[in-house]
């Protein structure tokens, strides 16, 4: 299958609006003619409008780092799907390991958010991955299968046409450790197989699966040239424009 790679920058809780604008301007200058990969920038909520304005009319998409599943309501501090679509956001990261770890997000909650994203025509980047102790106890397959099964509950193949999955080995996020290309490719194959079982083979074949564990310019080529890896969800290396640009040009 021919799947256009997606490279998504997750800025996490970094960059003021002024810093976000400066970074977006640098990325736009160097990457506006880049067509081999799709590129999405995911800044903090307060900088979404600024980054959207800076990248307007370009081939660089903009995504949010999280959202609530309800369209509106008394949920102080939350952001709804219509709020995101109203300003032009097209991607949203769901179920990131830091949301699961620090904010107690469950697979069931991720499923609710996933359905909300589909209802509002947002392209969700669904994050799955195992902890270090789970890998050491040979539980990687069990964890990935469970997370995908619960996240995709009542999701149809038609819904999943806009779905992206990011494999994040939790033990590699922000640690400098990285799964070998072979380890990452094996996990991606497991994910694709589970999606085929849960949905259908066509959905699995068309699905873009990103790698998201300490991707850097120096390891990007060996990871992203694996046939099963369709791009990257980039954290720390996306905070510096020069680093991210170099990574995109793997």
Q: Please tell me the predicted confidence (pLDDT) of residue 22.
A: 98
- 27, 241 contact by CB (below 8 A): yes
Q: Structurally, how many domains does the chain consist of?
A: 1
Q: Per the annotation, does 235 bind a ligand?
A: yes
3-state SS, residue 26: helix
**C-alpha R_g of the chain:** 17
Q: Please tell me the predicted confidence (pLDDT) of residue 177.
A: 72
Closest CA to 165 of 214, 135, 204, 115: 204
Closest CA to 48 of 8, 99, 87, 9: 87
> Which residue range forms the structural domain that includes residue 82?
6-248
pLDDT tens column, 89-132: 999 999 999 999 999 999 999 999 999 999 999 999 999 999 88
Assigned domain for 1 exists: no
Q: Per the annotation, does 214 bind a ligand?
A: yes
Q: Per the annotation, does 113 bind a ligand?
A: no
* 3-state SS record for 151-215: HCCCCCCCHHHHCEEEECCHHHCCCCCCCCHHHHHHHHHHHHHHHHHHCCHHHHHHCEEEECCCC
Assigned domain for 221 exists: yes
Q: Per the annotation, does 11 bind a ligand?
A: yes
Q: Please tell me the predicted confidence (pLDDT) of residue 155.
A: 96
Instruction: Return the H-helix or E-strand segment holding 90.
Output: none
Q: Please tell me the predicted confidence (pLDDT) of residue 2.
A: 82
3-state SS, residue 42: strand
Distance in angstroms (rounded) separating the CA atoms of residues 40 and 243: 15
| Whether this model's pTM surpasses 0.85 | yes
- CATH number, domain at 48? 3.20.20.70
Which residue ranges of the chain lie beneath pLDDT 50?
A: none
Q: Please tell me the predicted confidence (pLDDT) of residue 1.
A: 53
Please list, in sequence order, all residues whose beta carbon lies within 8 angstroms of the beta carbon of residue 118, skipping any fewer than 6 positions away.
124, 155, 159, 162
Q: Per the annotation, does 154 bind a ligand?
A: no
Place of tokens 């200058």: 29
Assigned domain for 78 exists: yes
Q: Which residues are catalytic?
A: 96, 168
Assigned domain for 73 exists: yes
Q: Please tell me the predicted confidence (pLDDT) of residue 173.
A: 72
């Amino acid at each position: 299958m021919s799947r256009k790679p997606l490279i998504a920058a997750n800025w996490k809780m970094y960059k003021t609006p002024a810093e976000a604008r400066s970074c977006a301007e640098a990325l736009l200058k160097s990457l506006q003619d880049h067509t081999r990969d799709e590129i999405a920038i995911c800044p903090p909520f307060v900088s979404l409008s600024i980054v959207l304005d800076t990248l307007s009319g370009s081939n660089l998409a903009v995504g949010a780092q999280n959202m609530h599943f309800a369209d509106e309501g008394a949920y102080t501090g939350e952001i709804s799907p219509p709020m995101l679509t109203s300003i032009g956001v097209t991607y949203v990261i769901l179920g990131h390991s830091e949301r699961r770890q620090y904010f107690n997000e469950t697979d069931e909650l991720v499923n609710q958010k996933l359905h909300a994203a589909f209802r509002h025509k947002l392209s969700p980047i669904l994050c799955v991955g195992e902890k270090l102790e789970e890998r050491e106890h040979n539980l990687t397959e069990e964890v990935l299968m469970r997370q995908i099964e619960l996240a995709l509950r009542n999701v149809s193949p038609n819904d999943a046409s806009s779905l992206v999955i990011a494999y994040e080995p939790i033990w590699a996020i922000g640690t400098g450790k990285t799964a070998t290309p072979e380890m990452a490719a094996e996990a991606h194959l497991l994910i694709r197989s589970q999606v085929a079982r849960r949905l259908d083979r066509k959905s699995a074949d068309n699905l873009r699966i990103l790698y998201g564990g300490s991707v850097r310019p120096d390891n990007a080529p060996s990871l992203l040239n694996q046939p099963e890896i369709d791009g990257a969800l980039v954290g720390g290396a996306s905070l510096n424009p020069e680093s991210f640009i170099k990574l995109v040009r793997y």
